[in-house]
Amino acid sequence: MNIWALGDYHRFAKATVWDLGPLLVDACRIERGQRVLDVGAGSGNVAIRAAQAGADVVASDLTAENLEVGAAEAQALGATLDWVVADVQDLPFETGSFDVVTSCFGAMFAPDHGATAREMLRVCRPGGTIGMLNFTPDGLGGRFFGMFARYLPAPPPGAQSPLLWGDQEHLTRLFGGAGGSLRMTLGTYVERASSPRAYCELFRTTFGPLVSLYAALADRPRERARLDRDFEDFAESANSATDGTAGFEYEYLLVIAQKAREP
């Protein structure tokens, strides 16, 4: 079962990370005439914006259902791009075939970080750009995922934490051997809801991993109730809004890796 197909990812993305697409497009200096690959594309918050900037774009993701919704969104916006089901750890594209490779909180969830970085570097042309937004372990994302970790089954052997993609030393090990430059910048963005409880309900009903977790606890009502309390306590304590609504400030690491040019 692909947990990312559960819930309503597009509704979730629109309410949380959708506005980060233009940020990554600008940071990578995506423009007309470039060939761009967005990996872990979800429903296209980066890919659609890259296409609107005039690039020739491929959006790839393991979850076909999310790509289908993204294609409908792109059509409604008049954006043209290709949607390809693909695993970022084993991409079905030729070596050096893209000018820019991007990922916004997507590739970080692949379990094999080394394979993921190697594939992103492989399909990027010499002199090309890899751009990522990743949650940091010390920011609110670290608290968020840490809260749920105690309820989840043990990860598969060898799987690495997604939050390592927000660690600068880890990124240096993954991309530092590409021979080019590596720039990393911390930033923040805010996810909003009408209330802390509404924020929790958004995740419970639309975010695939949480939909899956709650389903797994259906026959364990006490544990499920404890999870509810932990989640709502998190939302109350993390809420930074002062106007009676809810706002949650997440820290990200913007990664821009420039691949070395051929000699």
**What pLDDT digit, counting tens, does each position of 164-204 carry?**
999 999 999 999 887 789 999 999 999 999 999 999 999 99
By the 8 A CB rule, do 2 and 63 touch?
yes
Question: What pLDDT band is residue 263 in, cutting at 50, 70 and 90?
Answer: low
Q: Is residue 73 within 8 Å of residue 43, measured between CB atoms?
A: yes
Structural domain contains residue 68: yes
For residue 100, list its beta bridge partners: 36, 129
Is position 117 within any domain? Answer: yes
Q: The whole model's pTM is what?
A: 0.96
253 within domain boundaries? yes
pLDDT score of 177:
80
Burial class (CB in 10 A: 0-12, 13-18, 19+), 130: buried
9-47 pLDDT, tens digit per residue, is: 999 999 999 999 999 999 999 999 999 999 999 999 999
Our count of domains for the chain comes to 1
Model confidence pLDDT, tens digit, residues 105-132: 999 999 999 999 999 999 999 999 999 9
Residue 247 has pLDDT above 80, yes or no: yes
Crossing angle of helices 208-216 and 221-238, rounded to 10°? 150
24 in a structural domain: yes
Give the pLDDT band of residue 156 (cuts 50, 70, 90).
confident
Range of the domain at 215: 3-258
Average pLDDT over residues 140-162: 91
Residue 153 lies in a domain: yes
Query: What percentage of the chain exceeds 90 in pLDDT?
Result: 92
Indicate the Cα dihedral angle 72, 202, 167, 132, nearest 10°.
10
Cα gap 60→20, rounded to integer Å: 18
Could you tell me if residue 77 is inside a domain?
yes
Residue 54 neighbours by CB distance under 10 Å = 12
Residue 109, CA atoms < 13 Å, CB-side half-sphere: 18
pLDDT of residue 165: 98
Does residue 263 form part of some domain?
no
Q: Output the domain CATH number for residue 9.
A: 3.40.50.150
**Looking at residues 93-109, what average pLDDT do you find?**
98
Alpha carbon of residue 79 to chain centroid: 21
pLDDT of residue 62: 96
Checking if the pLDDT of 72 tops 80, the result is: yes
**What's the average model confidence in pLDDT over 233-255?**
97
pLDDT, residue 152, reads 86
Q: What is the structure's pLDDT at 34? A: 98
